[in-house]
């Protein structure tokens, strides 16, 4: 059989071979995968027009969540894409995407705020730090 899937030759039958590097490449090429990086996704990218200055946290947070969702990177700040074990084949892809999300967050905050975030270990830690520092309940606003 010249065509039709003769699998008697092991060199021609790639369906039985397991290649972790090929699996990683295939996963990172899927646009619906959180590890996918578009050619335009670079560390200098600015996702929102207004930087967080401390007074605009709620609107900034909403804009960032929309932008990160559009980039399929929301899981890096909400924890739904957990950090894999360092021995996991996806650890490199997770680290690279996490670094991109960190850079986007740092680009979206005022310099004095960003300086305090620079040494946090991952995007989720940065997100929770900002939330802890700037999120206010609506009670004081309603009272006014």
| Amino acid 48: pLDDT | 95
> Is residue 30 very low, low, confident or very high in pLDDT (cuts 50, 70, 90)?
confident
Q: Which residues contact 14 (CB under 8 A, 6 or more apart)?
A: none
Q: Which residues contact 54 (CB under 8 A, 6 or more apart)?
A: 110, 113, 134
Residue pair 71/128 in contact (Cβ under 8 Å)? The answer is: no
How many Å apart are CA 102 and CA 106, to the nearest integer?
6
Rounded to an integer, the average pLDDT of 129-142 is: 75
pTM of the predicted model as reported, rounded to 2 decimal places: 0.75
**55-84 pLDDT per residue, tens:** 999 999 999 999 999 999 999 999 999 999
> What SS3 state is found at 62?
helix
pLDDT surpasses 70 at 130:
yes
The mean predicted confidence, pLDDT, of the chain is 83
Residue 128: how many CB atoms within 10 A of its CB? 15
């Amino acid at each position: 059989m010249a065509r039709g899937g003769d699998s008697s030759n092991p060199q021609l039958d790639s369906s039985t071979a397991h290649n972790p590097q090929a699996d990683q490449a295939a996963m990172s090429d899927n646009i619906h995968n959180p590890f996918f990086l578009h050619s335009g996704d670079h560390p200098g990218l600015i996702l929102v027009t207004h930087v967080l200055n401390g007074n605009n946290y709620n609107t900034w947070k909403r804009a960032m969540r929309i932008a990160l969702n559009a980039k399929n990177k929301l899981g890096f700040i909400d924890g739904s894409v957990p950090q894999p074990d360092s021995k996991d084949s996806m650890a490199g892809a997770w680290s690279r995407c996490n670094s991109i999300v960190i850079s986007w967050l740092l680009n979206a905050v005022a310099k004095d705020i960003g300086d305090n975030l620079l040494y946090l270990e991952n995007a989720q830690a940065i997100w929770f730090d900002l939330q802890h520092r700037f999120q206010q309940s609506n009670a004081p606003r309603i009272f006014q």
